[in-house]
Structure 1
Amino acid sequence: MSARDVIARYGAAMETGDLAALRAVLDERVVWHQPGANQLAGDHVGPDAVLAHLGRFMELSGGTFALRTESVADAGALVATTVRFTARRPGATDLDQHGVDVFRVDGDRIAEVWLVSEDQAAEDRFWGAA
């Protein structure tokens, strides 16, 4: 399975909310680097921590958080995707941004994830203080 195939499985799982399929593509030592200065920022290590982290997106947004992959480029084990993500939260301006997610794939699993948002300051305001 190519790195692109792994990320395609990840994208499908994210878009449908299939947590079992999502967990299946995460390496046991996965590290998710969440940027910013908000309550979700920081490094999350291991599949359980990553799934809990993603669950917080849904919790804080009342289940409205959505992510769609728009394009994919790869350089072997590194895969970059352009994404669009949206969410709503009471008392906050709706979140609707593009970003770039970069993955390091090891075998048939995601080993590391870095995220870059179109407007990190707006995303920080949306998710709230750390």
Structure 2
Amino acid sequence: MSASDVVARYGAAMATGDMGALAAVLSENAVWHQPGANQLSGDHVGPEAILAHLGRFMELSGGTFVLKTESVADAGALVATTVHFTAARPEHPDLDQHGVDVFRVEGDQIAEIWLVSEDQAAEDHFWGAA
């Protein structure tokens, strides 16, 4: 299985909300690097912590957070996806940005994920202070 196939499994699980399949594609010590200076920022380690982190996106946005993958490029164990993400919160302007997610794949699981947003300051404001 190629690294891009592994990331495609991740994307399919995210799209359908299949948390079991999502956890299965993450290695035991997977690290999610959430950039910025907001309450979601920081490193989240392991499938359980990553799933809880993703749940916070939905909780804080009242279930409106949507992530769509636009393109995929791979270079061996690294896969980069361009993404478009949106969310709404009553007390903030809507979040509507593009970004890049970079995955490091080991075998048939994701070992590490880095996120880059087009406007981190706006994203920090949307999610709120740490």
Normalising by structure 1, we get a TM-score of: 0.99
> How many equivalent pairs are there?
130
Corresponding position of 2:95: 95
Match of 2:14 in 1: 14
Deviation at 1:90, TM superposition (A): 1.3
**Offset from partner CA, 1:49-98 (integer Å, 9 cap, x none):** 00000000000000110101100000000000000011011101000100
Distance (Å, rounded) in 2 between the aligned partners of 1:87 and 1:9 = 23
Partner of 1:4: 4
* 1:48 aligned residue: 48
Unaligned runs of 5+ in 2: none
1:16 CA displacement: 1.6
**4+ residue segments displaced more than 3 Å:** none
Q: How far apart are the structure 2 equivalents of 1:13 and 1:85?
A: 16
Q: Are 1:26 and 2:23 matched, yes or no? A: no
Q: Distance in 1 between matches of 2:16 and 2:93?
A: 25
1 CA distance for matches of 2:85 and 2:19?
18
